[in-house]
Structure 1
Amino acid sequence: MAHLRFKALETLNDRQPVKVVPPSNKISDYYGENVFGVDAMKRYISSDAVKVVLSAIETGEKIDAVTADAVAAGMKCWAMEKGVTHYTHWFQPLTDATAEKHDSFFDLDENGKALEKFKASALVQQEPDASSFPNGGIRSTFEARGYTAWDPSSPAFIMGGTLCIPTIFVSYTGESLDNKAPLLKSLAAVDKAATEVCQFFDKDITKVTATLGPEQEYFLVDAALFNARPDLLMAGRTVFGHAPSRGQQLDDHYFGSIPPRVNDFMVDFEIEALKLGIPARTRHNEVAPGQYEMAPTFEECNLSCDHNQLIRDLMHKVAEKHGLKVLFHEKPFAGINGSGKHNNWALSTNFGKNLLSPSSKPKENLIFLTFLVNVVKAVNDYADLLRASIASAGNDHRLGANEAPPAIISVFLGTQLSEVLDELEKNGNVRIDKGDNMYMKLGINKIPELLLDNTDRNRTSPFAFTGNKFEFRAVGSAANSASPMTVLNTIVAETLVQFKLDVDKQIDKGVKKEVAVANVLRDYTLASKKIRFEGNGYSDEWVKEAAKRGLNNVMTTPQALDFWITPKVKKLFEKHGIYSERELEARYEIMQENYIKKIQIEGRVIGDLAINHIIPTAIEYQNKLILNVKGLKDIGLEKEAKPVIEVIKEISKHINAIQTDVDAMTDARKKANIIEHMPERAKAYCDKVKPYFETIRYAVDKLELIVDDEMWPLPKYRELLFLR
């Protein structure tokens, strides 16, 4: 194993840069060239068919068979002209990854003659079986059929020489088995609820679209060094590794000059992303050494979630060309920053107006305040569900650490907006001024103009308003954004539905519409005051203050997941048609099982590395020291031998601690495995197995400092993080 480490280090000197040449100096020349979008449709199918497809995307109506045939023919022709021979239904099972089964356009007719075939039936629906994907008991093995169904709102694309058709994935009995179907339902729910509220202010608003821009953080390490670390290979994170003398304390990596090899990777990745219609705009060094970030332009939420899944897949593929490995684990290295996926979310009308963008116009600001307050109220009412939506084994390492949002859900609005809401709360004398336009005087008839240009931020807040959007910062780097966005869309839809009912009640009693709106906003502001926090989310004082406010601080995934199946949450999702109770229970079981498997894998990796790699290396070095002591004593240097003897004792102490804790961890794992009830088994892994990880790590990391560097089997942090 030691030889593998040094072989990996030797390869760094032999790395040749990969030449990257953009197809054109103008991105617009090749942007979306591998996407069957509107421009491609206009070239390959009739204008009538294009209108039907665009109308279906807008309204969600089903596409008729004739149009589907036309789209399939045009799509096949377009793809084959680009050298494509296969197609696949690209879907997102409950694994946070994507899935695909490739079928050829090639077929035989009844006479055995070869032909290229792709009909509407193949476009619209497939039966990929896919029985081994997580289903939470929804699908029996002997009833393994699962169906994928075309999502026309997310355009088909070519990747790796295959035509990929985005689809939902459902069981034979209709339950969703993926992340996309619930997201689409939640988008329809928030559209309907938000549009009805917009009608209070502007009757011409007929549609509201949720938009998303997920900032993706990740680490890059050399592929050879990665392959010399079984823990990175198996678990996605380093289970051992002493902090290097220099980490991120100098803050010199953040926004620093991008290393040439990394820059080549980034340019290459961006070219391929742009071809796929992914609007990659920003690249930069993040805080930790070896950590980077990319950010796209805002898009419609469903498309943005699809693109983020593509981004991660594409990064892996491009990194291989450059001899690199991408790490999306939330905490691949101890002692330095982990990686998140900051989900920047907003709502936009059919006129392109961002409902979360402040304005200097009183009428527009009333709309802005309405949606701002409703989002805050939604987070207040369903904070625990939001916490559950970002729970994972990987994110547990990050949430609550000193570089990530705490596990306590709160909302940050910034000083100015907080003052606006405080004024709204206090002001009881609302009056209506009549003029060319009737508008409301709240004593704050316009939002401070500074806010329009101010992106006040609180990096310690899990859910922060950042000028014209909310940034859900607590989402993990490896997560599929569709799940937390499904939750956010649904809870906002629920709050808006209730808001309209509450306003309508007052209007029915004769209260003027604008006054009714203001009255309900004031009530909601008061009701959600506990969730607003402007201070340091990392401080101990906030933990105490949050407890006083009644906000939960749930530090572990098995506990957080319980919020998915409370009666309140079940009622919420059933009311809006997002999840049935059966679907929710199934997902709850899948998430618990996923947590167990990840902790189980980490435990096995820890045991394997500790017993088969670390301890033998430590004993080998210890034997060298014993020979050294014997030699010193043989020549009469008894005094000089004493420090070496102390080192031998120190090594023995750590070896014994490792062996004892690995045995205890294995025993705890065996006991956990016999627990039949999945949630209790997950809690046993969390409370009884996982605590040994840190105690074993402590002893191993101490040995790393003692054992001769030439003998240590695993690439060290200084090599993984700093060598390029």
Structure 2
Amino acid sequence: MSNLSQIFASMVFNDSVMKERLPKDTYKAIKKCMEEGSSISLNDANVIANAMKDWAIEKGVTHFTHWFQPMTGITAEKHDSFIERCEDQIIMEFSGKELIKGEPDASSFPSGGLRDTFEARGYTSWDPTSYVFIKDNTLCIPSVFCAYTEEALDKKTPLLRSMEAINKQALRVLKLFGNNDVTRVFTNAGPEQEYFLIDKDLYDKRRDLIYCGRTLFGAMPPKGQDLDDHYFGTIKPRVLKYMQDLDKELWKLGIPAKSEHNEVAPAQHELAPIFTTVNIATDQNQLTMEIMKKLATYHNLVCLLHEKPFEGINGSGKHNNWSISTNTGVNLLSPGENPQENAQFLLFLMAIIKAVDTHQDLLRISVASAGNDHRLGANEAPPAIISIFLGTELTEILEAIENGYSYSKKPNMKLDIGVDSLPPFTKDTTDRNRTSPFAFTGNKFEFRMVGSTFSIASPNIFLNTIVADSLCEFADILENSDDFKNDLNKLIKETIKKHKRILFNGNNYSNEWILEAKRRGLLNLKTTPEAISYLNNDKNIKLFTKHNVFSEVELQSRYEILLEKYCKTVNIESLTMIDMVKKDIIPSVNAYVNELLEIVVRKKSLLGNINYKTEEYLLNKISDIIYLTYEKVEDLEVLINDLDKHTDLLDKSNLYKDIIIPTMNNLRALVDTLEGIVARKYWPYPSYGDLLFSI
């Protein structure tokens, strides 16, 4: 790693490469596009494409692809070679037209009714705001994906639209404060990625992990995360080697992997990058997840990104750290030394508070999935209730503004733990709250509800849009003000009074908070179907169409895609449970029953009066449970077949939630009880103890 400066971004056609390889005018054009959102001419695109091709060929690349992010939640690519026929020879060519536009088949991607199966044409288009890179010896061109009828079929297009929306409205507000030198406002993200590593040989023996990404059965081992000894503990050699190789591969792609450590649950870990603009952060996180899974196989490991791969221990999230900054390098969420006097910061803070309170439903929807439903609300993740943590100092400042009295800033406090030899340092003005869904952490907000498998596009689309709407409303008021200072103070004060219900600095895990949140009128959308039912209501349609982030039909398509994915996920899990019970668990349990019967027979016939009550007790207990297990399997099959009759997706998703999942839970309880009784050599799958402690 001594050559880190040479390794970092060596596979990225980034600013330094463009500056070296492009003519000055072309370089200025692409930089203007990236920084100001201007378009690229076909002539410039031809020059850029040729430079990209030459650079890629020097690194052994023969193919290119438009790398895009459809509504599957993962990435997609179609590879084309650079070769072109020239009479009897083959030459390597790459044109601006090929760079700008691709045409993958759009018929088989989720579209939520935007496209019929027989309508195949779709387009990918180069996103010049995100750097081109080399992966698997292929030149990857970050792209958007749209239908022939122009609707967005991906996550990237609405993300870029939302960035335009918040840029437009934030510039209006900044000009009111005299910031005429600011020409662009960006949102930034730094997603902290949690994941599990398990042995691949054990993974291959678990069909639930293979098909569903999580264990559908599994009794808790004697030791789980009880002792908290894994959290920030010494990283095991095999895992450390994986992390070191992962860092190297990510650094090659210009992904600034910064921190890594053991998480709370055994076999769980975390990786955190340095902040960057939200569209690039989204691309990089998608790449990170792909490389994490791919690289694990080289170490005979499997990387699990499911939100809840193991029952009874912590699941995995992806903390989306979000901030707003200007092209002049100013973080608009930095309070400064005296936040009570920083009116610009306070107005942006009010915009966020108003946005989160007004659009609780959208933030909950942005993290809704069947997998995340298992995680949210347990003592490992925030509950489904949206609230904001501001910390003591900011909360006291807002209370002072609301009630019309002056705030006296507290002096900086030195940390004193009674050891004279330790160098002194200043404490932060407030503690952190790890239970909060949306916490202010000094100069950014940490949205902690995002699931580990998620693309961060959706949470950031929704965050950008709702904050843009608040800023728009504020700008409309203040641009027409005859007394800016007085009206600004009045607006801040009124916003605090109207939206302070969303502020909560206490323990979000407590039952008292659930009751208090209900008293305040906050939403508690515990499951995905409950949350998604809000997506296409009039308020949200008006919001997204107003800011040109989604058209009404695009929003309706997302509604259908999310519900359909929920139904399909639960359906796959239920069918997998049935398959595992019928083909593995019942035969294995019966084999153990046969051994017990043989022991009883031998004891009776050979040893006369010897006691065989233990075997009889086990036989009776196992027989009762195995009967109930098979009965529950048959119930599950009938219920699944009945669901095929339902065509309304919301009704169907509610039936999966209310009927199928409870039946699955009951079946799991029976099987997990059997695992605790049946001899280890007969149980068909690696246990939780094997999976969590084998590395």
Give the TM-score category using the shorter length: over 0.9
**CA-atom RMSD in angstroms:** 1.5
Higher mean C-alpha displacement, 34-43 vs 367-376? 367-376
C-alpha contact (below 8 Å) 1:105/1:118 kept by paired residues: yes
Residue among 461, 464, 474 paired with 2:439: 464
Alpha-carbon distance in 2 for matches of 1:490, 1:448: 37
2:312 match:
335
Residue among 680, 687, 690 paired with 2:651: 680
1:254-653 aligned at under 5 Å gives the runs 254-361=231-338, 365-427=342-404, 443-444=406-407, 453-454=428-429, 456-505=431-480, 507-508=481-482, 511=483, 513-635=484-606, 640-653=611-624
- AA in 2 matched with 1:350: N
Higher mean C-alpha displacement, 202-211 vs 37-46? 202-211
1:113-192 aligned at under 5 Å gives the runs 113-192=89-168
- AA in 1 matched with 2:563: Q
* Cα 1:361–1:204 shift into 2, 3 Å: farther
SS, match of residue 682 in structure 2: coil
* Cα 1:57–1:618 shift into 2, 3 Å: same
2:169 match:
193
SS, match of residue 189 in structure 2: strand
Alpha-carbon distance in 2 for matches of 1:447, 1:40: 49
Kindly state the Cα deviation for residue 447 of structure 1 after the two structures are TM-superposed: 8.3
SS, match of residue 324 in structure 2: strand
Alpha-carbon distance in 1 for matches of 2:189, 2:156: 15
- AA in 1 matched with 2:265: A
C-alpha contact (below 8 Å) 2:367/2:450 kept by paired residues: yes
1:9 match:
none
1:54-65 aligned at under 5 Å gives the runs 54-65=31-42
Once the two structures are superposed, residues 371-403 of structure 1 have per-residue CA deviations (whole angstroms, 9 ceiling, x without a partner) of: 112111110000011101110010000011111
C-alpha contact (below 8 Å) 1:360/1:449 kept by paired residues: no
1:243 match:
220
- AA in 2 matched with 1:136: G
C-alpha contact (below 8 Å) 2:106/2:147 kept by paired residues: no
C-alpha contact (below 8 Å) 1:455/1:466 kept by paired residues: no
2:77 match:
100
Higher mean C-alpha displacement, 94-103 vs 412-421? 412-421
SS, match of residue 676 in structure 2: helix
1:705 match:
676
Kindly state the Cα deviation for residue 196 of structure 1 after the two structures are TM-superposed: 1.3
SS, match of residue 473 in structure 2: helix
Kindly state the Cα deviation for residue 415 of structure 1 after the two structures are TM-superposed: 1.7
- AA in 1 matched with 2:102: Q
Kindly state the Cα deviation for residue 444 of structure 1 after the two structures are TM-superposed: 3.1
Kindly state the Cα deviation for residue 29 of structure 1 after the two structures are TM-superposed: 2.1
SS, match of residue 483 in structure 1: helix
Once the two structures are superposed, residues 263-293 of structure 1 have per-residue CA deviations (whole angstroms, 9 ceiling, x without a partner) of: 1010001101001000000010000000000
Higher mean C-alpha displacement, 270-279 vs 357-366? 357-366
Kindly state the Cα deviation for residue 635 of structure 1 after the two structures are TM-superposed: 4.5
Count of residue pairs brought into register by the alignment:
682
1:14 match:
none
Kindly state the Cα deviation for residue 47 of structure 1 after the two structures are TM-superposed: 1.2
Identical aligned residues as a percent: 48
Once the two structures are superposed, residues 645-668 of structure 1 have per-residue CA deviations (whole angstroms, 9 ceiling, x without a partner) of: 111111111111111111111111
Higher mean C-alpha displacement, 329-338 vs 317-326? 317-326
1:646-661 aligned at under 5 Å gives the runs 646-661=617-632
SS, match of residue 176 in structure 2: coil
Once the two structures are superposed, residues 511-544 of structure 1 have per-residue CA deviations (whole angstroms, 9 ceiling, x without a partner) of: 2x22221110111111111111111111111111
- AA in 2 matched with 1:179: K
Alpha-carbon distance in 2 for matches of 1:486, 1:692: 35
Alpha-carbon distance in 2 for matches of 1:131, 1:638: 73
Once the two structures are superposed, residues 655-694 of structure 1 have per-residue CA deviations (whole angstroms, 9 ceiling, x without a partner) of: 1111111111111111111101111111111111111111
2:24 match:
47
C-alpha contact (below 8 Å) 1:365/1:446 kept by paired residues: no
SS, match of residue 216 in structure 2: coil
1:431 match:
none
- AA in 2 matched with 1:654: I
C-alpha contact (below 8 Å) 2:104/2:124 kept by paired residues: yes
Alpha-carbon distance in 1 for matches of 2:427, 2:328: 20
Once the two structures are superposed, residues 574-604 of structure 1 have per-residue CA deviations (whole angstroms, 9 ceiling, x without a partner) of: 0000001100111111111111111011001
C-alpha contact (below 8 Å) 2:393/2:429 kept by paired residues: no
* Cα 1:448–1:423 shift into 2, 3 Å: farther
Asked whether 1:71 is paired with 2:34, we answer: no
C-alpha contact (below 8 Å) 2:171/2:182 kept by paired residues: yes
Kindly state the Cα deviation for residue 140 of structure 1 after the two structures are TM-superposed: 2.0
- AA in 2 matched with 1:275: K
Name stretches of at least 5 consecutive residues in structure 2 with no aligned partner. Answer: 414-425
Alpha-carbon distance in 2 for matches of 1:448, 1:367: 23
TM-score, normalization by structure 2: 0.96
Higher mean C-alpha displacement, 586-595 vs 193-202? 193-202
Alpha-carbon distance in 2 for matches of 1:551, 1:363: 27
* Cα 1:96–1:454 shift into 2, 3 Å: farther
Alpha-carbon distance in 2 for matches of 1:59, 1:625: 76
- AA in 2 matched with 1:444: Y
C-alpha contact (below 8 Å) 1:359/1:452 kept by paired residues: no
* Cα 1:553–1:700 shift into 2, 3 Å: same
- AA in 1 matched with 2:652: R
1:720 match:
691
2:191 match:
214
SS, match of residue 399 in structure 1: coil
2:13 match:
36
Kindly state the Cα deviation for residue 503 of structure 1 after the two structures are TM-superposed: 2.5
* Cα 1:704–1:81 shift into 2, 3 Å: same
C-alpha contact (below 8 Å) 1:242/1:717 kept by paired residues: yes
* Cα 1:384–1:123 shift into 2, 3 Å: same
C-alpha contact (below 8 Å) 2:36/2:184 kept by paired residues: no
- AA in 1 matched with 2:406: G
TM-score, normalization by structure 1: 0.92
* Cα 1:638–1:402 shift into 2, 3 Å: farther
C-alpha contact (below 8 Å) 1:211/1:300 kept by paired residues: yes
SS, match of residue 132 in structure 1: coil
Alpha-carbon distance in 2 for matches of 1:149, 1:74: 18
Alpha-carbon distance in 2 for matches of 1:637, 1:96: 65
SS, match of residue 420 in structure 1: helix
* Cα 1:163–1:47 shift into 2, 3 Å: same
Kindly state the Cα deviation for residue 90 of structure 1 after the two structures are TM-superposed: 0.1
SS, match of residue 564 in structure 1: coil
SS, match of residue 269 in structure 2: strand
* Cα 1:343–1:671 shift into 2, 3 Å: same
